[in-house]
């Protein structure tokens, strides 16, 4: 079998050049969207917050069943490689970036007795049992690509008022 390799021509050369340019742009985008290690756990994988190991069941401050978060102290959030990807969602009003970080997620934080009740889930899925934290704690959503629907890179972190991650 003979293959006739003719001239590529200017249209073929333009197509090859355009394909190469698109490949370079996609490669640069992929490289820039890489992210440092996120906190253990993902909201997409069972909607368990990344604030630490699964807590034990305990009655909540109001007497209803819930989960009380363990009080072990972790590192400062600011010392973690994903700190720049953390957006505060409690307390206070949410910034536009925090609202974009919540794309595809639903997070509920409410004052309950002498603390706060925190639940997080993927939109369209039921909330898990709430976790209880002392009043004054801060809640952050961790998102490496704002506004995306890839929930595998989303996490939830709760810190003390001093910025120490609660385990």
Does this model's pTM top 0.85? no
The 10s digit of each residue's pLDDT in 27-65 is 776 655 554 444 444 454 443 333 333 332 222 233 333
- The structure tokens listed for 70 are 């363990």
3-state DSSP helix/strand/coil % of the chain, to nearest 5 = 25, 30, 45
**Across 9-13, 112-116, 139-143, least confident range:** 9-13
For the chain, the structural domain boundaries read: 57-166
Coil, strand, or helix at residue 49?
A: coil
pLDDT on residue 45: 47
Lowest mean pLDDT of 64-78, 106-120, 136-150, name the range. Answer: 64-78
pLDDT tens digits along 116-138? 999 988 888 888 899 999 988 99
- The pLDDT of 141-156, averaged and rounded, is 79
Q: Name the residue with higher pLDDT: 73 or 81.
A: 81
- Give the separation between CA 76 and CA 72, rounded to whole angstroms: 13
Stretch among 56-70, 103-117, 143-157 having the lowest mean pLDDT? 56-70
């Amino acid at each position: 079998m003979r293959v006739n390799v003719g001239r590529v021509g200017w249209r073929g050369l333009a197509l090859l050049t355009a394909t190469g340019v698109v490949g370079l742009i996609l490669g640069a985008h992929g490289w820039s969207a890489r992210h440092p290690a996120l906190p253990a756990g993902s909201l997409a994988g069972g909607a368990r917050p990344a604030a630490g190991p699964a807590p034990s069941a305990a009655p909540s401050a109001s007497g209803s069943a819930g989960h009380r978060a363990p009080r072990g102290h972790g590192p400062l959030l600011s010392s973690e490689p994903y700190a720049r990807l953390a957006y505060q969602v409690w307390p206070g009003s949410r910034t536009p970036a925090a609202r974009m970080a919540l794309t595809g997620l639903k997070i509920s934080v409410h004052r309950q007795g002498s603390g706060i009740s925190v639940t997080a889930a993927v939109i369209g899925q039921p909330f898990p049992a709430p976790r209880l934290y002392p009043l004054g704690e801060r809640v952050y959503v961790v998102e490496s690509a704002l506004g995306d629907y890839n929930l595998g890179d989303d996490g939830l972190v709760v810190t003390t008022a001093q910025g120490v991650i609660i385990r």
